[in-house]
Amino acid sequence: MDLPVGFEDIVEAARRIEGAAVATPLVESPLLNRIAGGRILVKAEGLQRTGSFKFRGAFNRLSALDDDARRAGVVAYSTGNHAQGVAAAAALLDIPAVIVMPADAPAIKLENTKAYGAEIVLYDRARDNREEMGVRLAAERSATLVPSYDDARVIAGQGTVGLEIAAAAEAMGATLDAVLIPCGGGGLSAGTAIALKTRCPGSEIFAVEPEGFDDWARSLKAGRRLANAPGARSFCDALLAPTPGELTFEINARLLSGALAVADEAVAKAMKAAFSHLKLVLEPAGAIALAAVLSGQFDCHGKTVCVVCSGANVDAETFRRAIRGK
């Protein structure tokens, strides 16, 4: 296959991030399996450094910079998880970082990004164009702009999730029928799909996105990149990208079996199920693949299904609401 990222790029990324990133576990709960009617293996990627997979791609991208580029620093724009990933990777590699973030990002994401030592520039989701802000800031400082998904090295870094899933499933003696992956810009699904198509060729791969933000489902069907209608809302703040990325669409259109759009209510229930049965804290985006299974939208009866759960950066009030009641 002639794709913009190869399996070897992911293997190389895995070598580069080893020691810095956490090899997160594949966990399972017998009681959750009973509810789902199949065997659900949860890639607990919320336990990653910075609480999401974004650290992998950011570290892989930043560690490829030469000395001059490292001195000049990096710029990124992000709703919060890529922000933390870039900030933490930059801190480890001693690179100055400026992050453009929405003013209404969850407080935990803003606080942690600051705590990793990054400079933060806020924008208004409704009014400002964060891409333009990022490009301008990078130009002003001769800094490198680090895209959150449409970049070969970033995609390769995220793909290390797929290598780990394959290795852990093999160690458990599990053959994966399907892998469900949360999808905004598409970097995690693209990288993971490349890794899995080589390592678990028999498994089908699906993207999962919030209702109202089903650009992937429609784009994959149409065979071209379609945008989300403006005005939709979801509490999955990490999955609100307006349209599939260019590189990520090229990959996902080739490798994915489809995309599922899940309602916020089902996501909140999945957050509660992860709390009760897996003992994992998940943010809405992190619970969306699990929600696709528990809501019955993805039928996993008699199947072994891996759901990727990332990230886990959620404000206490949002989490409290999700786990309230029965």
Tell me the CA end-to-end span of the chain in Å, nearest whole number. Answer: 48
Q: Is 288 within 8 Å of 260 (Cβ atoms)?
A: no
Q: How far apart are CA 94 and CA 133, in angstroms?
A: 24
Cβ-based nearer residue to a copy of itself, 198 or 318: 318
- Minimum distance of a copy of itself from residue 281's CB (angstroms): 4
Cβ-based nearer residue to a copy of itself, 91 or 263: 91
What angle do the packed helices 187-199 and 246-255 form, to 10 degrees? 40
- Phi then psi for residue 248, to 5 deg, are -65, -35
- Minimum distance of a copy of itself from residue 282's CB (angstroms): 8
Cβ-based nearer residue to a copy of itself, 230 or 325: 325
Helix (H, G, I), strand (E, B) or coil at 256: coil
Place of tokens 């678990």: 200
- Minimum distance of a copy of itself from residue 184's CB (angstroms): 19
- Minimum distance of a copy of itself from residue 31's CB (angstroms): 5
Tokens linked to 87: 């900030």
- Phi then psi for residue 259, to 5 deg, are -135, 145
Cβ-based nearer residue to a copy of itself, 260 or 274: 274
Cβ neighbors of 136 (< 8 A, separation 6 or more) are: none
Cβ-based nearer residue to a copy of itself, 88 or 188: 88
Q: Which residues pair with 26 in a beta bridge?
A: 43
Binding residues for a copy of itself (CB under 8 A) = 22, 25, 27, 30-31, 34, 44, 46-47, 49, 51, 88, 108, 112, 115-116, 272, 275-276, 278-282, 312, 316, 319-320, 323-325
Cβ-based nearer residue to a copy of itself, 3 or 309: 309
- Minimum distance of a copy of itself from residue 205's CB (angstroms): 25
Tokens linked to 263: 């309602």
CA distances to 41, 108, 169 from 177, rounded to whole Å, are: 11, 35, 11
Cβ-based nearer residue to a copy of itself, 29 or 248: 29
Q: How far apart are CA 158 and CA 58, in angstroms?
A: 9
- Minimum distance of a copy of itself from residue 304's CB (angstroms): 17
Cβ neighbors of 139 (< 8 A, separation 6 or more) are: none
What angle do the packed helices 246-255 and 215-222 form, to 10 degrees? 70
- Minimum distance of a copy of itself from residue 50's CB (angstroms): 9
- Minimum distance of a copy of itself from residue 260's CB (angstroms): 24
Q: How far apart are CA 36 and CA 55, in angstroms?
A: 30
Cβ-based nearer residue to a copy of itself, 301 or 324: 324
Place of tokens 């949860």: 42
